[in-house]
Every structure is written in C-alpha cells, then in structure tokens.
C-alpha cells in the first residue's frame, strides 16, 4: 500500500514572508518525526525557497507552474524554475485557476511538463454541481481524459489525482460525504486503469479536497478509502493540519 499524503494549499496566504516563516515553522514543530505520512505545503511562489530550508520533514510544492521552460512569457514561472529552487510537488488545474481561464488543454501541457521535470503532479479535478442524471460523471471522465491526453503509462508512477468537487471548496461550503468520495474514486480508478492498465493505473493515489478538516478526515480515510487530502483552510492552522496528519498516520 502506498503512503498517505497530506498536502496544504496555502493559496494566496499569508501576507508577508515573516508570517509565512512563522506559520511554516509552527506547522513543522508540531509534526511527528516518523515519516508514516508524506507531508507537503504549497505556499505562494515567492516563499518557496526560504520555507524549503526550514524543515526536512515537510516538502514544498507549487500551486501552479508554466509548461514552457524559458522564453517570452511575461509573468509566468516555469516548472523547471520551480524544480530548481526545490519544489518537488505541484498542484495543477485547481478550480480557482480554471475559474481564471485555465483550460484542460493548458492543464494537460502542465502535467506533461511537470512529469518531464520530475515533479509529483497533483492534478485537481471536480464538477461544479451534481445533477440527478449523473451528468457530472461524464464531466469528470472528460476532464480527466483531457488533462491526461498523450501521457504514457510509464510516466504516471508519481501522479496524484485530487478529487475536489467545486461545490465543496471554501468558506460556507460543505464537504462531500465519504461515500460520495468512495464512489467517485472507484469511478476515477476505472478510468485510470482503462487508460494506463490495471498495474500503473492502480498505483495512482486519489486524494480528497474541499472543506476537509480534522473532524471529517477519519471518515474520508476509513469509509472513503482516501489516500490523503488536499487542504485549503485547514492547512493555515498548524494544529488542525497536524491533527489531520496524525489521523492519517493512524489509519
């Protein structure tokens, strides 16, 4: 069985480098030294290099990355550059980026570039709403297939899929149920095994995100059989973040 993974997505927080260092060090200070659970924090780009040096226990990741290595792409930061400063994970296709115009085709190029640069890509997928006719399943299938188009089975050993229903993300939302996650993860696994074969497809970890916290984490792991979490708000609270890591280490 592969290791559980807990990934914190700090989004555009906190406001200053000083606060980021404090939050990161505070988080690192709470986490047990045993490496039962893989722990990753994805801060804003410009804090990455500094934070990476604070703790050996926590790996750092980026929240995005551009697919071309260098060139005339004003305002972009390439995956190769991020790897060079120590990022080893990258969140790709987060719904907040898709809401700003990122397409499946962009995400597909980014996943390919991340694999080429030796990252562990964390590909986010999720529907914006559910409907009685289960159209959302078709949406997920299409989204997943488009984001993974042209990727071969021998390059997906590190790939992680984060199922994050958009309706479950952020302030005021409620999480999916562990049963809903389980059903979706079986569906995703089937698509992955059809595409990459049972062996390679079966190794791809599927994690949950969207209002996951220390209260529902246990059930997502036990009932939902989640391989871990992508956490937004809970990752900004060292105690909550650590509690979720602890729970993942016990199940």
Q: Which residues bind ligand PGA (CB under 6 A)?
A: 9, 164, 169-170, 209-212, 230-234
> Among residues 121 and 201, whose Cβ is nearest to ligand PGA?
121
**90: CB partners within 8 A, 6+ apart:** 42, 61, 62, 63, 64, 65, 79, 82, 110, 114, 119, 120, 121, 122
CB atoms inside a 10 Å sphere around CB 189: 16
Q: How far apart are CA 72 and CA 195, in angstroms?
A: 35
3-class DSSP assignment, residue 49: helix
| Min CB(212)–ligand PGA separation in Å | 6
Q: How far apart are CA 122 and CA 206, in angstroms?
A: 9
Name the residue with the smallest CB distance to ligand PGA.
Answer: 232
| Min CB(193)–ligand PGA separation in Å | 26
> Among residues 119 and 196, whose Cβ is nearest to ligand PGA?
119
| Sequential DSSP letters for 185-225 | HHHHHHHHHHHH-HHHHHTSEEEEESS--TTTHHHHHHTS-
| Min CB(229)–ligand PGA separation in Å | 8
Which positions are catalytic?
Answer: 94, 164
Q: Is 34:4 a contact under the CB 8 Å cutoff?
A: no
| Min CB(215)–ligand PGA separation in Å | 12
| Min CB(109)–ligand PGA separation in Å | 21
> Among residues 4 and 233, whose Cβ is nearest to ligand PGA?
233
Distance (Å) of CA 76 to CA 72, 81, 110: 9, 10, 12
> Among residues 80 and 214, whose Cβ is nearest to ligand PGA?
214
> Among residues 92 and 230, whose Cβ is nearest to ligand PGA?
230
């Amino acid at each position: 069985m592969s290791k559980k993974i807990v990934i914190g997505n700090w989004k555009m927080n906190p406001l200053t480098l000083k606060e980021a260092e404090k939050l990161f060090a505070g988080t690192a200070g709470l986490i047990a030294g045993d490496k039962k659970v893989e722990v990753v924090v994805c801060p804003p780009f410009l804090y990455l290099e500094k934070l990476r040096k604070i703790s050996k226990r926590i790996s750092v990741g980026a929240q995005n990355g551009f697919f071309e290595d260098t060139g005339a792409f004003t305002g972009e930061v390439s995956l190769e550059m991020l790897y060079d400063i120590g990022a080893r994970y990258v969140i790709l296709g987060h719904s907040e980026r898709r809401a700003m115009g990122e397409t499946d085709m962009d995400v597909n190029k980014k996943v390919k570039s991340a694999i080429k640069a030796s990252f562990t890509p964390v590909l986010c997928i999720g529907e914006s709403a559910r409907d009685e006719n289960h159209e959302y399943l078709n949406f997920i299938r299409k989204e997943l297939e488009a984001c993974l188009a042209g990727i071969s089975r021998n390059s997906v050993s590190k790939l992680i899929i984060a199922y994050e229903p958009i309706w479950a993300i952020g302030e005021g939302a409620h999480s999916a149920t562990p049963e809903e996650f389980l059903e979706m993860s079986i569906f995703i696994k089937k698509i992955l095994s059809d595409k990459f074969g049972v062996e390679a497809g079966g190794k791809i970890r599927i994690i949950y995100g969207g209002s996951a916290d220390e209260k529902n984490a246990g059930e997502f792991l036990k009932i939902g059989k989640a391989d871990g979490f992508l956490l937004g708000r809970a990752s900004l609270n060292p105690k909550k973040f650590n509690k979720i890591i602890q729970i993942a280490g016990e199940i």
